[in-house]
Amino acid sequence: MNSTTDSLEDAPAHRSFGRKLLGWLTEGVLILIGAVVIATLLRTFVGQMFVIPSGSMENTLKVNDRVLVAKFGGFQRGDVVVFEDPGSWLGPSTPSTNPVKIALEFVGVLPSSGTEHLIKRVVGMPGDHVRSTEDGKIEVNGSVLDETGYLYSEEGIQVAPVTVPFDIVVPADRLFVMGDHRNASADSRCRLAEVSQNPGESAFVPTSKVVGAAVAIVSPLDRLATFTLPETFTEVPAAVEPAPEEPELIHVEPGC
């Protein structure tokens, strides 16, 4: 008789524990869903992290650096920007098949490791007249850039700003971009002389493809840094003429 009584007395306690456990689980799921929603909104409208896959932006950026890119505030000449492949800049790649990794990258918990984005420095904005000088420097709207502060160097030897001469005007809604390691970057310079139905078009990045400007290196810890606009770009005047609808290729040669 006592055992029956004990069993009946224990039942409410078991039900109470079950309700508490269900409440904890429900609360945990709601917190997780809320965190995912917030992370997704931040990734969509505020910022996104990317992993640097190559050395085209050395020494400014190194392979495997994690970079935070702001999706607000716009960008300007001299900024380092991440953009979607405008078409044929990147070769074929094998996307990740790990569903967990894909999901975490999508919501912004992990930095994007996709191979469909590139990162370069904006040298020319729409309407800018960009050309190489006789002594191998870059001139934008009549102002010669001093690029010594960010171009790649090794053992005191810095890469040349440009080796193949060119003279162009950036078309409307397009950007002219270059990597800081000019010897390891297949950028806008390299596509100016490509033979196509619309000569030079593939050399310029549509502004609609830009994800945003890089604001900081967030990992590894010994690489923590924020990005500042190189002073030389503050001295570049605005374009004199409205941006043309098509690229103006005043002088281009194959190679870069």
Q: Residues 163-185: pLDDT tens digits?
A: 999 999 999 999 999 999 999 99
Candidate list 7, 16, 20, 56, residue with the active-site label: 56
Report the mean per-residue pLDDT for the chain.
Answer: 85
Q: Residues 114-133: pLDDT tens digits?
A: 568 999 999 999 999 999 99
Identify the CATH number of the domain defined by range 46-251.
2.10.109.10
Handedness of CA 237, 185, 61, 88 (dihedral sign): positive
Residue 6 has pLDDT above 80, yes or no: no
Find the DSSP H helices in the chain. Answer: 2-45, 99-107, 231-234
List Cα–Cα distances, 54 to 90, 131, 136, 186, in angstroms: 12, 26, 25, 11
Give the pLDDT score at 119: 97
Give the pLDDT score at 116: 87
Give the pLDDT score at 31: 66
120 is known as an active-site residue = yes
Amino acid present at 153: S
User: pLDDT class for 109, splitting at 50, 70, 90?
Assistant: very low
| pTM higher than the cut 0.85 | no
188 is known as an active-site residue = no
Tokens of 233: 């770009």
Angle among Cα 125, 217, 81 to the nearest 5 degrees reads 15
Q: Which of 203, 205, 181, 180 is nearest to 190 (CA)?
A: 203
b/e burial code for range 111-122 (CB count within 10 A of at least 16 → b): bbbeeebbbbbb
Q: Residues 216-241: pLDDT tens digits?
A: 999 999 999 999 999 999 999 999 99
The domain spans of the chain are 46-251
Candidate list 112, 120, 188, 202, residue with the active-site label: 120
